[in-house]
Amino acid sequence: MPATQLGQDARRLILSERELTPEEVRDVLTPFGFRDAPAADGVIRAMADMQASRDGLADFLPGLLGAAGRSPDPDRALTRFHNYTRARVDPHTFFTTLRSVPHLLEELLFVFGSSEYLSSILIRQPEYLSWLLETDALDAPRGREEMLGELRAWVAGVESPDAKLAILRRFKRRETLRIGVRDLVRGALVDDVTREMAYVADVTFEVAIDVVRAGLVERYGVPRGADGSEATYAVIGMGKLGGEELNFSSDVDVLCVYSEDGVTDDGTDNQTFFQRLTERLADAIGKQTRDGYVFRVDFRLRPQGKAGPLARSLDSYEAYYETWGELLERQALVKARHVAGDAALGTAFVRMVRPFVYRATLDGRQVEETLDEIRWTKASIEKRIARDGDPLLHIKLGPGGIRDSEFVVQALQLLHGPRVATARAAGTVAALDALGAAGVLPVAEAEELKDAYRYMRRVENTVQLVADRQVYHAPADPAEWERLALRLGYGGDAGAHFRKEFEARQRTIRSSFDALFAADESAFGWRMNTLLAEERPSDESTPFLAGYGLADAPAAHRLIRELASGSERVRFTPRVRQMFVRFAEGLLDQIAATPDPMLALVQLERFLSASGARAQIYPVLREEPGVRQLVVRILGTSRFLGDILARDPLAYEALVYGPGFTQRAGSVEECLTALGEASEPGLDALLRHVQRYRHEALLRIGTRDIVGESDVLATTRELSILAEAVLRRCFDAFYEDACARHGAPSQGDGSPAGYAVIGMGKLAGRELNYSSDLDVQVVYSEEGETTQGMSNADFYRRMVRSVVNHWKKPVLGGAIYDLDMRLRPYGRGGPMALTVAGYESYYRDHGELWERQATLKARVVAGSDDVGAAYMSVAAAFAYGDGLTAEEAAAIYSVRARKEDKVAREGDRLHNVKSGHGGVVDIEFLAQALQIRHGHADLELRSTNTVEAIDVLLVAGHLTTHQADRLRATYVFLRFVEDRLQIVDNRPMSALPSDPVALGKLTRRLGYEESETFLTEYHRRTEEVRDIFEDVFTRLRGAG
């Protein structure tokens, strides 16, 4: 439609003698681009009511509607124009001005149609338009010193600190209007726009420091250093503020530094003074008041993040970065710039961090680690934003976005800044110029990146200028996309042209990013970092985990994320996360090689959680794969050894940094020497000392067992020596304690009434499992009284009861041992200790066949040798007596059958290692029966150890070579199976698992590839034992 016709139609809205129909209103306004014609007509009518002459408005209206129609949003442009005219005190003069300055109407409506935020500033303070028009405010960018001088002049005119701080908000609002209008309608360069916004932040911080510091000095006095001179303070800009690249809606990232520790004139320490200064400064700049805020202030880039103090001394910053500084902090400090406060201090800070940021030497591995960490940081970001929408629309963080270009520049600065000083520029554009000039980047690529970076920053600024919100997404809605294109100045098919250029700039940036950070997506590091970025395991991560034997993907995923990044309660730094990633491949390979990878992973997380700082232990696990493998094999095999590692860090240190797991105690005496003395007096201190030593010893024994340095017979012997040493040390101590309390026991002639502890069962034979109780009996020489008049019987009862009770109590997370005294005369109801004569009387009058079997395995393990020898003489006479009759052999055979029937009722007759068909009990019973049958006449047969008994029975001719070989080999085999059943949880277990998964884990602990292979061998061996058992007992039951 011709412009003249549009103008005539527009005049009709004001001058028509009749009210136009809605259809006629729509026909007039739609060609101007209005979407809501009735609402726009209402605005026009309201404007008409404000005018003295409707003819004047009718003449003005075509130009107004045309300017609104050429803005990005005609409806909003018209409404905001009306609201602005209402806010002015001189609307008639204003209309006259607009008629005389045609471009003003065009620019003003473009601003009203582009930015709610800028419109609100003008409507709130309409006089700002006159300032923009009557000065050179829109002609050129302003410098920092010019802004600072003007702001200080404003502040000087008021007395109240609150009034001064309110001025900061008004100043920021006016300057944002000026800069925003220059950006939208005067074609200001994006470099100038972002630099000016950074200067606004600089000067508002500068004046705020003056105001806040004056109030604190009035209260606390001047803060001073060691020499009495005034301590200074500075604000360091980071991120976009530091790079002089601030958006309209950016937070300002800052660090706050003071010159040195000391005290104020009233004695307040400087740290407190400057912490309070920083807190008040944050309020002065960031607090929302009726005048709004100046900038949102973000301190999270400070050392220790949210946990760290808001202000530190220069020395404190230096110590932190030297000791704890991470790559991401180096990356952030590239943009560090003094923005406010003492200039000398700010410059000193930037100079101080330079060696940390730009390391003098970087080897190949450090270069790759630098690129890796930045690469995975970006990959994690992209994973996160993909959950919130199309990542390609994310101007800042999406692929090819602003952050890609910044990461490229910062990585190149970190790598080349040590030798190319000009590359250390805080600003991205300046850094690209330097990198191109130095040949680090091809000049053409540097120029393309600059252009793309500037373009994306302009898009970001324009999106944020709409409503002063931190918006980083380009709109997905086609209509909103079109309006954004119009705000950016595109004409014609604006949306399509904008999309074409937007995507081209993304490709340019992403191409440079990919060239620098190219990664093999099939490589372990990529897969691991992808997994760590996921909230739950993806379809790709589940088989990745399964490849390492981690079948429970959700649990494995959670544990690996906790190992890398911590839990919700304790989050690790990115530096720790990357430490983990660097050794994770070797770690998972080692976990996969364990019998139970999930157990290994669960226990590893628990162990490391108990071990403390990952920053100290992760380098060890990375640099010492042997240590890592050792720990992982333990954790993937034994839960109870893992518990020791987690509960008792000293046990881990002793294993790794002490003599190591190869240290053996070959005798009880050697073990007692290694055990040493408790550092504190008292039984509780002794038990803690003993338990700590026991943990360390169990860890060494278990480790030798797990890695194959000890066979099962050596393992059971060492476990028995350890138990015997602990038992001897504790009984000695408890005896001394009882003597101190009750007096020493004596015999009728006044000589000491000594005692002995008699080991029974596997303790006597030095055949203990990990989970074995200690079967013992206590004997003392004869009745009498202690030196304080207590009967010897009561004395030893109390002493033994004290040992039993103390050993049951948890010490460092668990009981020491369970003492089992059920083999004593009269069983549970019998006395805790008997005299030698008492045992002799009991055996003579009440001893049963099963007790003769039990007494075969009696050996003195603690106490008086003389008392022990007297008991052993009585025990041998009872056990061996006159041999074994056929009836007694039949009775033993019957007892064995009942044991087998019992496990058969429990469903595992064929798969119970101890009591099942052809199990350990078959071997023990036939050896014991032969010992009783022939041991009364042949003292060489009197061995408490089953394998030794088989050997001497062979030598004596009571077993054939074939029988002895089969029995010995199968006994060792079955004890090894028992060992691998019990090493997991340190619990008595004899039945093979019926669950295929659990059986598979046992099979792997035993060293078999397949469960079927193991079961085949198990059945073959136990059948051989049963055949020999039947053969031996057939002979014994037929003996005359």
- As to burial, measured by CB atoms within 10 angstroms (0-12 exposed, 13-18 middle, 19+ buried), residue 57 is buried
pLDDT tier, 396 (very low <50, low <70, confident <90, very high otherwise): very high
Bridge partner residues of 292 (DSSP): 289
* pLDDT over 80 at 376, yes or no: no
- In 612-711, which ranges are continuous DSSP H helix? 614-623, 625-635, 639-647, 649-657, 668-675, 683-707
Query: How far apart are the C-alpha atoms of 641 and 703, rounded to whole Å?
Result: 9
Query: How far apart are the C-alpha atoms of 337 and 347, rounded to whole Å?
Result: 8
More reliable by pLDDT, 150 or 649: 150
Query: How far apart are the C-alpha atoms of 940 and 955, rounded to whole Å?
Result: 10
428 in Cβ contact with 405 (< 8 Å)? yes
DSSP string, 116-159: HHHHHHHHH-THHHHHHHHSSTTTSPPPHHHHHHHHHHHHHT--
Q: CB count, 10 Å around CB of 63? A: 17
Instruction: Give tens-digit pLDDT for 71-120.
Output: 999 999 999 999 999 998 787 788 888 888 878 999 999 999 999 999 99
- Which tokens sit at 464? 């944020």
Helix and strand totals (H; E) in the chain: 46, 12
Q: CB count, 10 Å around CB of 479? A: 11
- As to burial, measured by CB atoms within 10 angstroms (0-12 exposed, 13-18 middle, 19+ buried), residue 249 is buried
* pLDDT over 80 at 966, yes or no: yes
Q: What is the DSSP letter of 679?
A: S
Instruction: Give tens-digit pLDDT for 692-740.
Output: 899 889 989 999 999 898 999 999 999 999 999 999 999 999 999 999 9
* pLDDT over 50 at 864, yes or no: yes
**N-to-C CA span, the chain:** 132
* pLDDT over 50 at 624, yes or no: yes
Q: Which fold has domain 179-357?
A: Beta Polymerase; domain 2 (3.30.460)
942 in Cβ contact with 936 (< 8 Å)? no
Average pLDDT, the chain: 91
Bridge partner residues of 255 (DSSP): 236
The values of phi and psi at residue 667, to 5°, are -150, 165
Query: How far apart are the C-alpha atoms of 988 and 1001, rounded to whole Å?
Result: 17
**Mean pLDDT within 468-490:** 90
Any idea which residue has 């596997």 for tokens? Answer: 762
Beta strands 337-341 and 755-759: pairing type? unpaired
Give Cβ neighbours of residue 707 (< 8 Å, ≥ 6 apart): 630, 633, 661
Distances in whole angstroms, Cα of residue 939 to Cα of each of 299, 763, 947, 1012: 84, 21, 17, 44
260 in Cβ contact with 313 (< 8 Å)? yes
- Which tokens sit at 221? 């006095």
What's the CATH number for 3-114? 1.20.120
729 in Cβ contact with 823 (< 8 Å)? no
Query: How far apart are the C-alpha atoms of 590 and 598, rounded to whole Å?
Result: 12
Helix axes 961-982, 1011-1037, angle to 10 degrees: 130
Residue type, 847: G
Counted residue by residue, the chain has a size of 1040
The values of phi and psi at residue 227, to 5°, are -90, 5
139 in Cβ contact with 178 (< 8 Å)? no
Which has the closest alpha carbon to 873: 756, 709, 753? 756
Any idea which residue has 């109240």 for tokens? Answer: 160
Residue-level pLDDT at 5: 66
Query: How far apart are the C-alpha atoms of 725 and 862, rounded to whole Å?
Result: 9
pLDDT tier, 241 (very low <50, low <70, confident <90, very high otherwise): very high
**Mean pLDDT within 637-665:** 79
**CATH superfamily placement of domain 883-1040:** Nucleotidyltransferases  domain 2 (1.20.120.330)
How would you classify residue 919: left for phi > 0, otherwise alpha for psi between -120 and 50, otherwise beta?
beta
**Mean pLDDT within 279-307:** 94
458 in Cβ contact with 451 (< 8 Å)? no
**Mean pLDDT within 594-623:** 89
Give Cβ neighbours of residue 677 (< 8 Å, ≥ 6 apart): 689
DSSP string, 477-544: SHHHHHHHHHHTT--SSHHHHHHHHHHHHHHHHHHHHHHHH---TTSHHHHHHHHHH-SS--TTHHHH
Distance from the Cα of residue 49 to its chain's centroid: 67
Residue type, 460: E
More reliable by pLDDT, 657 or 987: 987
Q: Where are the domains of the chain?
A: 3-114, 179-357, 359-517, 524-708, 709-881, 883-1040
**Mean pLDDT within 823-834:** 93
- Which tokens sit at 905? 């009722």
pLDDT tier, 69 (very low <50, low <70, confident <90, very high otherwise): very high
Instruction: Give tens-digit pLDDT for 345-355.
Output: 999 999 999 99
What's the CATH number for 709-881? 3.30.460.10
Instruction: Give tens-digit pLDDT for 417-429.
Output: 998 999 999 999 9
CATH 1.20.120.330 holds for 359-517 = yes
Which has the closest alpha carbon to 957: 930, 921, 995? 930
Residue-level pLDDT at 172: 97
Q: What is the pTM of this model?
A: 0.69
Fold identical between 359-517 and 883-1040? yes
Which has the closest alpha carbon to 787: 719, 738, 847? 738
- At residue 641's C-alpha, the angle toward residues 639 and 646, to 5°, is 90
